Structure 1
Amino acid sequence: MIVCFDIGGSAIKGAVAHTPDQILPLGRRVTPLDDFTAFVDTLRDVIAEAGEEPDRIAMSITGVVDPETQAIKCANIPCIDGRTLGAELSALLGLPVLIANDADCFALAEAGAGAGRGYRIVLGAILGTGVGGGLVVDGRLINAEGGFAGEWGHGPAVAAMAGTPPVAIPVFDCGCGQRGCVDTIGAARGMERLHLTLHGKRLESHEITTLWQNGDAQAARTIDVLVDLISSPLALTVNITGATIVPIGGGLSNVTPLIAAIDTAVRARILRKFDRPLVVPGECRIEPGLIGAAILGLAGETR
């Protein structure tokens, strides 16, 4: 038995896992952002709810672990930023601790229990507030020791022109410190930025997608440009990784026609041709972070 966690900037969710299909949720608590002692005590409280000592702890967490130093970069939770979190938590909790990025855990969940079952190379792509991803090969994370593989949302990959007919696309600053990342024009915030740029109107992403599905011409133009912009970087990532299925997570994965449009565009731009959908909505709709952490922990791998 293990205890797994899904840790974000607002909440810490825990669960007991005996198998990936047997996950019993534990308490949900507010994430202590600025007090590391309180952060550790919160984890202890959740572990105590399990009623017995687990074999290990596995957690899905916002942020990325440096594969060389094992230090975590986590802007959303300042009290853990820069710490060698796995080693510190293991010493304080007295248990082996395994940590993976939340996008990596989404990819693991989809590979083990979702749309990626039966596929050797699974690229889990996030289209939520921003753009992210994780890569699983033969059931194992490429980022088993931490790292940035699968993060197709970052890097100066945005085209200067996009859409039919083409329109000039400004280069936007990205929160990662670079300029022109897919994250700046993809997913929810990117869609809203594109709509403002193209039409001078501030709308939320759900308003844009609803208008698009109802035949609104301006929303259709925004979606056309968005799909064109993100499909080429995603196609390049598929070519490089050899992924044969790309489950999509995040809020925009719920907009089925949008995922279908991205799938059509990506399949037209990759070397290998598929006569089936490649880019598909993720199937782990509830707590993919906990499912991915459970798969990670139950594999029994510790750093």
Structure 2
Amino acid sequence: MRIGIDLGGTKIEIIALGDDGRTLARRRVATPQGDYARTLEAVVGLVAAVEGELGRRGTVGVGTPGALSRHSGLIKNANSTCLIGQPLKRDLEALLGRALRVANDANCFALSEAADGAAAGAGVVFGVILGTGVGGGVVVNGQVLDGANAIAGEWGHNPLPLPDGDDLPLPACYCGRAGCVETYLSGPGMAADHARRNGLAPTTPEAIVAGASAGDVACETTLQLYEARLARALAGVINLLDPDVIVLGGGLSNLARLYTQVPRRWGAHVFSDQVETRLVRALHGDSSGVRGAAWLWPAD
């Protein structure tokens, strides 16, 4: 039995999978905001509850915001700031009495979709989360690619390629840089761009999509800009990684037009006479992160 935990900013979710990928149990609790010790207690409590319910012990994988530093073993780059600088893996291993595997939540998303999701059977998979932030993960032949610095797939903090007048001035990013992919392609990034260009009050991606469907020209223009930017950003990924499949997750992945419009646009920026890479929506949706954490432990 494999147990996966998705340690999110608002919720902590646990799933237990059988060897065939079937869900055996699933629970979630609210994340104790800003409290590291209570977060550990919540994770340990969920594992105990699921193992007690099923009457057996499982391997445990944990998906986290941020990543484990190769240098210190501490969590870095997490938007759940109470985790930054903490020995999460070491502490949970001591409390649970077993070895754990820990990976970035975007890596878990990509692994889930590569294992038994929309990219099952593909050799090279790039998983993309388009939500409150922008994340990415790489899976090669069923294995997560972490990289020497544990940042493989972190495309959201690369500069948006080929910025033009519509993209300027470069938006400031929380990472300390400006013009990051995340500042344009996250949900808040899309909404902020729409408000800035049209001199409007802050809005939401959902309102922009609804406006475009109702014939609002400004909203339609925002979606077309979004598609062009996503195409340019993903073309850079294709040129570097040449994945078989790119899988989209997160709230903006539900925008059906992306799967036709973005591939039509990215060819102009890909260094190839033809682009065979497929762009697909995640099969497991919001469940991909927690399922991927469970799949951090491969079959024996």
Normalization by structure 1: what TM-score? Answer: 0.89
Tell me by how many angstroms 1:35 deviates: 3.3
Cα separation, partners in 2 of 1:77 and 1:275, compared to 1, 3 Å: closer
> Is it true that 1:284 corresponds to 2:284 in the alignment?
yes
Tell me by how many angstroms 1:149 deviates: 0.9
Aligned counterparts of 2:274 and 2:127: Cα–Cα separation in 1: 18
SS at match of 1:212: helix
SS at match of 2:135: strand
Paired amino acid for 1:175: Y
CA contact (8 A) 2:160 2:180 kept: yes
| 1:10-40 deviations in Å (ceiling 9; x for gaps) | 1111122222622233331121233333222
Aligned counterparts of 1:122 and 1:168: Cα–Cα separation in 2: 29
Tell me by how many angstroms 1:76 deviates: 4.0
Normalization by structure 2: what TM-score? Answer: 0.90
Residue in 2 that maps onto 1:224: 224
Aligned counterparts of 2:168 and 2:65: Cα–Cα separation in 1: 30
Residue in 1 that maps onto 2:198: 199
Aligned counterparts of 1:205 and 1:87: Cα–Cα separation in 2: 39
Aligned counterparts of 1:45 and 1:215: Cα–Cα separation in 2: 50
Q: Quick check: 129-138 or 151-160, which moved more? A: 151-160
Q: Quick check: 94-103 or 202-211, which moved more? A: 202-211
Aligned counterparts of 2:258 and 2:212: Cα–Cα separation in 1: 10
Residue in 2 that maps onto 1:72: 75
Tell me by how many angstroms 1:117 deviates: 1.2
Trace 1:151-162 onto structure 2 (pairs within 5 A): 151-161=154-164
Paired amino acid for 2:57: P
Q: Which runs of 5+ in 1 are unaligned?
A: none
CA contact (8 A) 2:77 2:84 kept: yes
Tell me by how many angstroms 1:282 deviates: 1.4
CA contact (8 A) 1:66 1:72 kept: yes
Residue in 2 that maps onto 1:148: 151
| 1:265-288 deviations in Å (ceiling 9; x for gaps) | 123321245576722211112411
Residue in 1 that maps onto 2:42: 42
Trace 1:94-173 onto structure 2 (pairs within 5 A): 94-143=97-146, 147-161=150-164, 167=166, 169-173=168-172
Aligned counterparts of 1:288 and 1:18: Cα–Cα separation in 2: 16
How many pairs align? 296
CA contact (8 A) 2:246 2:277 kept: no
Aligned counterparts of 2:275 and 2:36: Cα–Cα separation in 1: 51
Tell me by how many angstroms 1:64 deviates: 1.9
CA contact (8 A) 1:158 1:181 kept: no
- CA RMSD, aligned part only? 2.2
Tell me by how many angstroms 1:88 deviates: 2.1
Tell me by how many angstroms 1:53 deviates: 5.0
Residue in 2 that maps onto 1:181: 180
Cα separation, partners in 2 of 1:114 and 1:144, compared to 1, 3 Å: farther
SS at match of 1:296: coil
Q: Which runs of 5+ in 2 are unaligned?
A: none
Residue in 1 that maps onto 2:243: 243
Paired amino acid for 1:268: A
Aligned counterparts of 2:20 and 2:12: Cα–Cα separation in 1: 19
Trace 1:270-281 onto structure 2 (pairs within 5 A): 270-274=270-274, 278-281=278-281
Residue in 2 that maps onto 1:58: 61
Tell me by how many angstroms 1:100 deviates: 0.9
Aligned counterparts of 1:297 and 1:120: Cα–Cα separation in 2: 18
Aligned counterparts of 2:283 and 2:258: Cα–Cα separation in 1: 16
Aligned counterparts of 1:111 and 1:96: Cα–Cα separation in 2: 24
| 1:172-220 deviations in Å (ceiling 9; x for gaps) | 1101121110111113111111111221123211111122233321112
Paired amino acid for 1:139: G
Aligned counterparts of 1:112 and 1:144: Cα–Cα separation in 2: 20
Which structure shows the bigger proportion of residues in helix conformation? 2
Q: Quick check: 140-149 or 118-127, which moved more? A: 140-149
Aligned counterparts of 1:286 and 1:138: Cα–Cα separation in 2: 23
CA contact (8 A) 2:126 2:246 kept: yes
Residue in 1 that maps onto 2:89: 86
